[in-house]
């Protein structure tokens, strides 16, 4: 089973803290591509805009795709709402991995994405995350009322699906108003994790996909406290190299990519 080295994780987290949106390249060089496929994809690169909860999964999936095709994958991480806005404004993106269905549906309604070019790739889960070497033991959202919890990081619910789910969970538990003074907003869920990891927050609402291979303590937030996080991808058919984008989407959601997605908790219904 492949794992993301701790140094690589910290690099991605640091990028999220510095700019709120992280760019990284996976699958550099020929990646061991076969002679047949590698020749076809040699010199080609595609840009994938992805919700930041996919950071670690794509760090594995990109090199696997390059190994098969020779195509380099450039990943643009951020909150789904901000990434959708970039695509609306003409950003040269081949594939969009949104953390919810809503932003993809909006692109379909605006004619930027065709209905047949979308697919569900997993249902996300929210976790409560704390540092492994910290004193806190958080087992439920109710534990956030503990006076020892001073700052709670969540992704901005205005444009980040995981932040929206966190707010819904606190509202369902009747705690949103009470905990408002403790809330620290991050640009995306990866940055929320960084706030907690660096000590700038005591606990963070993050994604299971960012928790399973991390070094902290975490517990799942009950799924019935928020609406389902239906993570949905879209191929931008009008973009250059759209066919390679389509191949990458099929690869990620196919027999080669699904074991990686499953391992990070992106389960299909």
In CATH terms, are 6-123+228-263 and 126-225 the same topology? yes
Token duo for residue 230: 């239906």
pLDDT along the chain (269 residues), means of 10: 46 50 52 46 90 95 95 95 96 97 97 96 97 94 98 97 98 98 96 96 97 91 97 96 96 96 92
How confident is the model at residue 4, as a pLDDT? 42
CA nearest neighbour of 238 among 88, 67, 36: 88
How confident is the model at residue 213, as a pLDDT? 81
How confident is the model at residue 102, as a pLDDT? 97
* Strand bridging mode 126-130 / 203-207: antiparallel
Tell me, which fold does domain 6-123+228-263 have in CATH? D-Maltodextrin-Binding Protein; domain 2 (3.40.190)
Question: Whole-angstrom Cα distance, residue 81 to residue 104?
Answer: 10
Cβ contact 84:35 at 8 Å: no
Q: Give domain limits for the chain.
A: 6-123+228-263, 126-225
Question: Whole-angstrom Cα distance, residue 80 to residue 258?
Answer: 21
- Given the candidates 1.10.357.10, 3.40.50.1820, 1.10.3720.10, 3.40.190.10, the CATH classification of the domain at 126-225 is 3.40.190.10
Question: Whole-angstrom Cα distance, residue 259 to residue 41?
Answer: 24
């Amino acid at each position: 089973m492949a794992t993301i080295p701790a140094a690589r994780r910290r690099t991605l987290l640091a990028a999220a803290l510095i700019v709120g949106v992280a760019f990284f390249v996976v699958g550099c060089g020929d990646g061991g591509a076969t002679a047949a496929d590698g020749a076809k994809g040699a010199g080609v690169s595609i840009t994938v805009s992805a919700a930041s909860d996919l950071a670690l999964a794509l760090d594995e999936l990109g090199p696997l795709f390059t190994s098969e095709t020779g195509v380099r994958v450039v990943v643009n991480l951020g909150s789904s709402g901000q990434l959708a806005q970039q695509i609306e404004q003409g950003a040269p993106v081949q594939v969009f991995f949104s953390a919810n269905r809503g932003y993809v549906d909006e692109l379909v309604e605006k004619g930027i994405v065709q209905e047949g070019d979308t697919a569900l790739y997993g249902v996300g889960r929210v976790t409560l995350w704390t540092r492994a070497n910290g004193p806190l033991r958080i087992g439920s959202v109710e534990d956030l009322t503990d006076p020892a919890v001073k700052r709670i990081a969540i992704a901005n619910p205005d444009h980040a699906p995981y932040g929206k789910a966190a707010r819904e969970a606190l509202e369902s538990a009747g705690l949103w108003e009470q905990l408002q003074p403790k809330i620290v907003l991050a640009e995306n869920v990866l940055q929320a994790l960084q706030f907690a990891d660096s000590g700038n927050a005591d606990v963070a609402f993050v994604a299971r996909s960012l928790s399973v291979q991390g070094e902290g303590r975490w517990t799942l937030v009950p799924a019935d406290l928020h609406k389902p996080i239906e993570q949905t991808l879209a191929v931008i058919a009008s973009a250059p190299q759209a066919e390679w984008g389509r191949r990458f989407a099929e690869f990620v959601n196919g027999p080669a990519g699904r074991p990686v997605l499953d391992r990070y908790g992106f389960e299909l219904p």
